[in-house]
């Protein structure tokens, strides 16, 4: 049942998979938040694990950097491994004045400068969104936790280092909360497979402010995001 990118057998993944970009972060999550952990994928170092959170089965696997990478792994999980729900847990660069470094963002929808949607042969653009049910659960958990959060659209961009470009200003003027590099492929794949998806982000840097995260702040906001994602996964 393996794919070129995943050596797991069918049934090795739980119905819900949490996905950070960094596979070592997937390992950290498995080792620190889950019990009864089994490693299910090591192909290309894109580590995947299945374990239990509060007694319920959950998987966690890296998705790598960028739209093509998350596009491959989420396509395979949805279509070949019968995964129903994918929650990306990542970081983003803030774009609005009221978005601070360390805030949490729930990506309601994803703009993009990528051509990933070209494959669907549409005459115009496609508006990929989170699954409302998971989004609502996650937002309720964040509210109960008392963390600072925002719900809105993010930009999934192909380029981290951009040349000659005021693209960010234009998206900022349209209310875009933050920039990251993956959500559009996750949401499009979920839509096509009729599955469920949500991206939760911590703001790690800001395009219009000089705020930076200290190591301890980075760890605390990561832990908040992980607890929200895990509680959402088992709800
Ligand atoms: N992820 C975290 N910060 C980012 C940024 N500034 N641009 C794109 N992706 C990011």
Nearest residue (by CA) to ligand 1, atom 1, is 92
What mean pLDDT is predicted for residues 58-77? Answer: 98
Q: How many residues does the chain have?
A: 235
State the average pLDDT over residues 158-181.
Answer: 93
pLDDT tens track for 92-111 = 999 999 999 999 999 999 99
The pLDDT assigned to 218 comes to: 79
pLDDT(212) > 80: no
Evaluate if pTM is beyond 0.90. Answer: yes
Check: CB of residue 41 under 8 Å from CB of residue 19: no
* Active-site residue set: 205
How many whole angstroms from 181 Cα to the centroid of ligand 1?
A: 7
Average pLDDT over residues 147-175: 94
ipTM of model? 0.96
HEC string of the chain equals: CCECCECCCCCCCCCEEEECCCHHHHHHHHHHHCEEEEEEECHHHCCEEEEEECCEEEEEECCCCCHHHHHHHHHHHHHCCCCCEEEEEEEEEECCCCCCCCCEEEEEEEEECCCHHHHHCCCCCCCCECCHHHHHHHHHHHHHHCCCEEEEEEEECCCCCCCCCCHHHHHHHCCCCEEECCHHHHHHHHHHHCCEEEEEEEEEEECCCCCCCCHHHHHHHHHHHHHHHHHHHHC
Indicate if ligand 1 lies below 6 Å from the C-beta of 224: no
Q: How far, in Å, from the CA of 37 to the mean position of ligand 1?
A: 30
Q: Average model confidence (pLDDT) for the chain?
A: 96
Mean of the pLDDT values across residues 153-157? 98
Query: Which residue puts its alpha carbon closest to atom 5 of ligand 1?
Result: 93
Dihedral pair phi/psi, residue 95, rounded to 5°: -130, -15
What is the pLDDT at residue 163?
A: 83
């Amino acid at each position: 049942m393996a794919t070129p990118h995943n050596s797991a057998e069918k049934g090795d993944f739980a119905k819900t998979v949490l996905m950070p970009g960094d596979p070592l972060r997937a390992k950290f999550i498995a080792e620190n938040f889950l019990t009864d952990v089994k490693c299910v994928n090591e192909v290309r170092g894109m580590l995947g694990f299945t374990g239990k959170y509060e007694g319920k089965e959950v998987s966690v696997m890296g998705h790598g950097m960028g739209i093509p990478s998350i596009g491959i792994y989420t396509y395979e999980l949805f279509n070949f491994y019968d995964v129903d729900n994918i929650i990306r847990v990542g970081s983003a660069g803030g774009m609005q004045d009221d978005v601070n470094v360390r805030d949490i963002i729930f990506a309601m929808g994803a703009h993009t400068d990528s051509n990933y949607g070209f494959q669907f042969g549409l005459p115009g653009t496609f508006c990929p969104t989170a699954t409302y049910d998971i989004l609502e659960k996650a937002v309720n958990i964040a509210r109960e936790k008392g963390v600072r959060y925002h719900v809105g659209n993010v930009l999934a961009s192909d380029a981290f280092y951009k040349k000659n470009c005021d693209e960010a200003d234009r998206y900022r003027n349209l209310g875009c909360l933050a920039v990251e590099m993956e959500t559009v492929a996750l949401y499009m794949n979920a839509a096509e497979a009729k599955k469920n998806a949500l991206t939760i982000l911590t703001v790690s840097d800001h395009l219009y402010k000089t705020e930076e995260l200290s190591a301890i702040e980075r760890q605390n906001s990561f832990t908040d995001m992980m607890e929200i994602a895990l509680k959402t996964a088992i709800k």
